[in-house]
């Protein structure tokens, strides 16, 4: 028996060494291309030369200060535990906004089209290891002053210029991100636009809670996306599932998105579904722990300008929430709720949603044309803590409709929607703390 066990261990070690060797055969060491890794020297050109080999670039321990890096098909990044890729704070070290007509930027949010890492029309790329990629928000903002706009939560004063999405994946497929730490973005952390077959596993995202628009993962017009075992702390939506295809100049739906076993914390939504003018369908989000968030789950087909054509077949299962508002469903986040241009939101299900809220447990804006269809809530409990109240005042565009479902029972939760069902389990309870 001992001999068999010994031989099994030897076999396992041999297999591991062989696998490591095979992996290293597709790797190049960034220091072999002249990278210094002292946090002072700008390593951009050295790193890019390594990336241009089309292989995975290995980063040993060190701080690699860099501007924009372009990934190549078949290659990527592998970061050792003490390796840090640090974004430069200077605009001249980054790509021009017009490097691609599909590039995303926001004038109103002072977010440029500059990105730290870009994968454009790539195939088979990886970012792995247990090192860190840092967007250097501290250097870019260069201030610790905060303000509270309109009496809301405090935010850092925006600089005149900041980078856009720290990691930007555009029109790419077969993307694998595993194990890395993504920290301190100046804007969105990772943006996936028109990508196919994306796997994100065991990734830690840490964005400053007081940084405007510091989303975690933005999944936009992507197909076949799987997010698992991730922890995301963000100043804006932790995970946003979007359907914005205007810049793509083609129909590209967001479909088949799976999120499982993640911890989310956000100053906005733990999960937001909506934004854009395309279609979002066939999404399943399960085993999520949403903590210290303003909104647990927000579903809204219209944000700012434009409307999602359709949001259909989105399932939430085994969700726990502790924060301000557990669930918010609204036809339009910032426009008239009775706009006939807004399309249908249908086949949305919640199962085992256990929520504790300090304000409104559920907010649903009613709409007379029955935009929400076939909404199912099963085996769920929404708890409103003592003293919990609903937001009020000018925040609501159509106050004459009132705010539904704040303290209502399951019988009057969706009175102006069609095809709504809720089971017999207590739907809303108050709780002494």
Question: Hey, what CATH topology would domain 29-430 get?
Answer: Pectate Lyase C-like (2.160.20)
CB-based contacts of 185, cutoff 8 Å, min separation 6: 135, 137, 163, 165, 166, 207, 211, 214
φ, ψ of residue 44 in degrees (nearest 5) = -55, -55
CA distances 214 to 190, 232, 341, 363, Å, are 10, 11, 29, 24
Taking the CA of residue 25 as centre, how many other CA atoms within 13 Å lie in the half-sphere pointing to its CB? Answer: 6
Evaluate whether 136 touches 86 at the Cβ level (below 8 Å): yes
Evaluate whether 426 touches 410 at the Cβ level (below 8 Å): no
- Nearest Cα neighbor of 201 from 242, 173, 168, 231 is 231
Instruction: Convert the pLDDT of each residue in 243-292 to its tens digit.
Output: 988 888 888 899 999 999 999 999 999 999 988 778 999 999 999 999 99
CA distance 380 to 422: 9
> Read out DSSP for 218-258?
EEES-EEEEEES-EEEESS-SEEEEE--GGGTS---EEEEE
Helices (H), 262-353: none
pLDDT for residue 411:
38
pLDDT for residue 90:
97
Evaluate whether 114 touches 89 at the Cβ level (below 8 Å): no
**Token pair recorded at residue 158:** 């925006």
Which residue, chain included where needed, has tokens 């903002």? 141
Instruction: Convert the pLDDT of each residue in 146-186 to its tens digit.
Output: 777 665 678 888 889 999 999 999 999 999 999 999 999 99
Evaluate whether 337 touches 302 at the Cβ level (below 8 Å): no
CA distance 150 to 59: 44
Name the stretches of the chain with pLDDT < 50: 2-19, 21-22, 390-416, 424, 426, 429-433
pLDDT for residue 356:
87
pLDDT for residue 339:
60
| Percentage above 90 pLDDT, the chain | 58
Evaluate whether 398 touches 367 at the Cβ level (below 8 Å): no
């Amino acid at each position: 028996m001992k001999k068999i066990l010994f031989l099994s261990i030897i076999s396992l070690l041999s297999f591991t060494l062989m696998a490591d060797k095979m992996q290293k055969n597709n790797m190049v060491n960034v220091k072999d291309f002249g990278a210094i890794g002292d946090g002072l020297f700008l390593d951009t050109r050295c790193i890019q030369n390594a990336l241009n080999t089309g292989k995975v670039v290995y980063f040993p321990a060190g701080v690699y200060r860099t501007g924009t890096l372009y990934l190549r098909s078949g290659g990527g990044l592998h970061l050792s535990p003490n390796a840090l890729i640090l974004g430069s704070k200077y605009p001249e070290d980054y790509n021009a906004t017009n490097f691609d007509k599909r590039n995303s930027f926001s004038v109103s949010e002072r977010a440029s089209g500059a990105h730290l890492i870009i994968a454009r029309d790539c195939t088979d790329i990886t970012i792995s290891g247990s090192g860190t990629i840092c967007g250097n928000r501290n250097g870019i903002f260069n201030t610790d002053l905060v303000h509270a706009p309109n009496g809301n939560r405090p935010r850092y004063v925006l600089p005149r210029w900041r980078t856009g999405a720290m990691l930007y994946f555009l029109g790419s497929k077969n993307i694998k991100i595993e194990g890395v730490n993504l920290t301190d973005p100046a804007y969105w952390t990772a943006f996936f636009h028109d990508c196919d077959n994306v796997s994100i596993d065991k990734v830690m995202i840490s964005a400053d809670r007081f940084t405007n628009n510091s989303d975690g993962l933005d999944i936009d017009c992507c197909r076949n996306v799987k997010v698992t075992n991730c922890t995301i702390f963000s100043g804006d939506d932790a995970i946003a599932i979007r359907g914005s295809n205007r810049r793509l100049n083609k129909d590209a739906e967001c479909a088949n998105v799976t999120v499982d076993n993640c911890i989310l914390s956000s100053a906005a939504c733990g999960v937001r579904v909506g934004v854009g003018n395309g279609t979002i369908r066939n999404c399943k989000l399960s085993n999520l722990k949403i903590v210290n968030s303003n909104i647990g789950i927000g579903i809204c087909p219209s944000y700012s300008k434009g409307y999602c054509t359709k949001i259909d077949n989105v399932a939430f299962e085994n969700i726990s929430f502790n924060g301000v508002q557990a669930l918010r469903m609204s036809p339009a986040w910032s426009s008239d709720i009775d706009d006939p241009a807004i399309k249908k939101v249908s086949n949305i299900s919640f199962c085992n949603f256990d929520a504790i809220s300090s304000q409104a447990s559920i907010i649903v804006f009613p709409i007379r044309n029955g935009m929400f269809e076939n909404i199912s809530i099963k085996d769920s409990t929404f708890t409103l803590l003592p003293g919990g109240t609903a937001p009020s005042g000018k925040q609501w565009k159509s106050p004459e409709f009132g705010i539904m479902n704040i303290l209502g029972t399951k019988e009057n939760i969706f009175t102006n929607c069609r095809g709504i069902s809720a089971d017999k389990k207590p739907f809303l309870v108050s709780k002494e703390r």
